[in-house]
Chains A and B, each alone.
Chain A
């Protein structure tokens, strides 16, 4: 505001005047100083690199990495596959952790934030204690705490049975999975894509009102996989984890590293999200509650139709930066030995000594992620923003 006003005043007072000579001289001096420092740094760095026999450039991405990777969506053969592939796997792992933590901590954080506002004294105090306890302890301390705790659990033979086929042991968390034919997965993916793309197109064409959109979305997600199952005749099956020998077979495994990372980051982030949600709801004037009540709306309807739409406008911007914080905090994976992008770049740096290239790769990776997250959150923010007429 103040900046804009100042700019206006400047426009009025100084119409296209050349800056005074002194200002230009200072500019030149600053440029010269920066160029000098840069030249000095580059020159010393190059001579240092030469002295240590480190070659610059990204050619190392095509050389093979000898080290195995303990969690990967793609196959990786140590000694055969390249650093490039390893770093790509690391990038996928960073995305995995970030996505899982963002979803879980949003759910947990919203629940805790709402609990803090509950009229029930015990519930709001417990939620408050949770928030204070988790956000005042460094996330790294929480991560290593959970990691050592998970490693101390009994081996698979004495695994804790959490019910519903979920087992926790020192090999990590084992969960049941659904076995589906490849065609069914394809149909599901196509359905989800259609559910995202189609409704806005239909709305723009004026073919539908917003009421039927969720039904349409549901149908688009559910029908194609069912049709694929019926066509291929491959019935879905649940793959239950079961003990075989010394370890579990079947189901999907979350390694202790990934589990510790997800638990620690979720606990930490959810405390901050709880505070954001609470501040957002408290930011809605009390008069809005009163007005909704005097219209005869139920408490649930009041929250859904009156309070939340307004609270979201306060909540979304800080939530976006919290999500960016999650992607950056996921780099703490290196402390528990989970191979994310930072951990693998670190391996590459210590193997090849190419620190500058490594940092550039990290910067590119996080730049990509933060641009994607802020693009999504800006889009969502526009959706919930006040439409003024």
Chain B
């Protein structure tokens, strides 16, 4: 009897068999994913026919029969676009893209709102990276918002003053949504803490009333309220610009929804955390700021990203009360007689811009959710 050596005892697996023929390759993929059953096959054929027809019609309209440039120097001659067999009139976008993006901001100064949009996008991208979430990012946010204010308004550093009623387009949409969320955040935290306060029934009642009333009515009525009713609340002589009134309405609206979400996070943090902080002798505010809130906010980050997408889209409602945002600029770009009837092109352009922002935010939200789940 021989004792096997350790080398003989080592398990040596057989080499893996190749997958059976017909389970790999494009044909197998087609068979599995498009013709898995006779029903699936019929669906595939019908879908190919329908999508093919739709795609062909859309390409005809958007590319083949489209008009990209128009004759005319000062005022474009849009007659060529009105012929019956002509498709999309992208010359509208070529002519009006600066109007749609920046509104009636003085033409020579439009590098300023363009730079503002770039700063916004830059600070969004910087904030997306979780490793950078510290005091420096906070400072960068403050710097960015100040820079945007200076750039848009001017009046200092040799920049020409551009009053608010000449702002328009994409920067207004970005300002309303970004500042709305930034300013609503502290308010939302206070309201959320108020709603779950155990020591102050008054604060609880006021917070609950505020949240439930705002969440019970549509945003458009909050905006009407801000634009019509707000001046009534102010003493005589004090006026607030239209844009700022809309901004206040949006902040009040966002804060109510944000407060509900944050409250959900606060209640999901284990009670032991709060008790442990209490036992360590931390005061209420220390306990909240250092122990409970950081955990609560991390828990509700993905829903907060969804809310941000919703609010970004919701700012388009300010069009109805006459604020010159991106949608309103798109609407007005086809307002003058020469360009009337080309709304489809203008709105597709506007929709594409909104889509880029919202889609990237929603992808980011998904990846954040996955990473937070993994780290837990």
Binding site for B on A (CB under 8 A): 2-3, 5-6, 9-10, 19, 23, 26-27, 30-31, 34, 41, 44-45, 47-49, 51, 118-123, 126, 132-133, 135-142, 144-145, 148-149, 152, 328-329, 331-332, 334-335, 342, 345-346, 349-350, 355-356, 358-359, 362-363, 366-367, 370
Contact = CB atoms under 8 A, between A and B. Distances in A.
Contact of B228 (A45, A140, A331, A349): A349
B146 interface: no
Contacts of A345: 221
Interface in B271-313: 271, 274-275, 309, 313
B200 A30 contact: yes
Contacts of A332: 220, 317, 320
Interface in B237-274: 267-271, 274
Contacts of A140: 316-317, 319-320, 327
A23 B317 contact: no
A109 B319 CA distance: 28
Interface in B32-70: 33-34, 36, 40, 43-44, 47-48, 51
B358 interface: yes
A121 B28 CA distance: 13
Nearest to A356: B229
B216 interface: yes
Contacts of A51: 236
Contacts of A136: 309, 354-355, 358-359, 362
A123 B47 contact: yes
Nearest to B316: A138
B167 to A, nearest CB: 19
Interface in B183-217: 196, 198-203, 206, 213, 216-217
Nearest to A3: B267
B147 interface: no
B221 A342 contact: yes
Contacts of B275: 9
B125 interface: no
Nearest to B44: A122
6 contacts: A19-B199, A120-B36, A141-B351, A148-B343, A342-B221, A363-B216
B141 interface: no
Given A27-B200, A122-B34, A123-B43, 19 more contacts: A6-B271, A23-B199, A30-B206, A44-B235, A48-B232, A48-B233, A51-B236, A120-B36, A123-B47, A136-B354, A142-B351, A148-B343, A148-B344, A152-B343, A355-B225, A355-B229, A359-B224, A363-B213, A363-B216
Nearest to B220: A331
Nearest to B36: A119
B317 to A, nearest CB: 6
A122 B42 CA distance: 12
Contact of A120 (B34, B220, B229): B34
A98 B236 CA distance: 41
A235 B348 CA distance: 49
Contacts of B200: 23, 26-27, 30
Contact of B354 (A126, A137, A335, A366): A137
A355 B218 contact: no
B67 to A, nearest CB: 17
B314 interface: yes
Contacts of A121: 33-34
A143 B350 CA distance: 13
A145 B320 contact: no
Interface residues of B, number: 63
Contacts of A10: 198
Contacts, number: 168
A149 B216 contact: no
Given A45-B233, A120-B43, A366 B218 contact: yes
B309 to A, nearest CB: 8
Contact of A366 (B217, B233, B269): B217
Residue with the highest number of chain B CB atoms closer than 10 Å, among A5, A122, A132, A149: A122
A141 B203 CA distance: 39
B233 A27 contact: no
A328 B214 CA distance: 12
B97 interface: no
A260 to B, nearest CB: 12
- Chain B: interface secondary structure? helix
A176 to B, nearest CB: 26
Residue with the highest number of chain A CB atoms closer than 10 Å, among B219, B229, B271, B275: B271
Nearest to B356: A136
A126 B355 CA distance: 17
A336 B351 CA distance: 17
A118 B47 CA distance: 13
B222 to A, nearest CB: 9
A340 to B, nearest CB: 10
The 5 closest A-B pairs by CB, nearest first: A148-B343, A121-B33, A136-B358, A138-B313, A331-B218
A334 B232 contact: no
A138 B354 contact: yes
Contacts of B36: 119-120
A6 B228 contact: no
Nearest to A321: B215
A114 to B, nearest CB: 12
Contacts of A363: 213, 216-217, 221
Contact of B319 (A19, A335, A359): A335
Contact of A335 (B51, B221, B313, B320): B320
B316 A141 contact: yes
A120 B40 contact: yes
A144 B347 contact: yes
Contacts of A329: 218
B331 interface: yes
A84 B36 CA distance: 60
Residue with the highest number of chain A CB atoms closer than 10 Å, among B48, B220, B320: B220
B218 A137 contact: no
A51 B48 CA distance: 68
A68 B350 CA distance: 33
Residue with the highest number of chain B CB atoms closer than 10 Å, among A6, A118, A366: A6
B149 interface: no
Contacts of B213: 363
B217 A328 contact: yes
Contacts of A3: 196, 267, 271
A4 to B, nearest CB: 9
B49 to A, nearest CB: 11
Nearest to A145: B347
B44 A120 contact: yes
Contact of B343 (A118, A142, A149, A349): A149
B122 interface: no
A122 B320 CA distance: 39
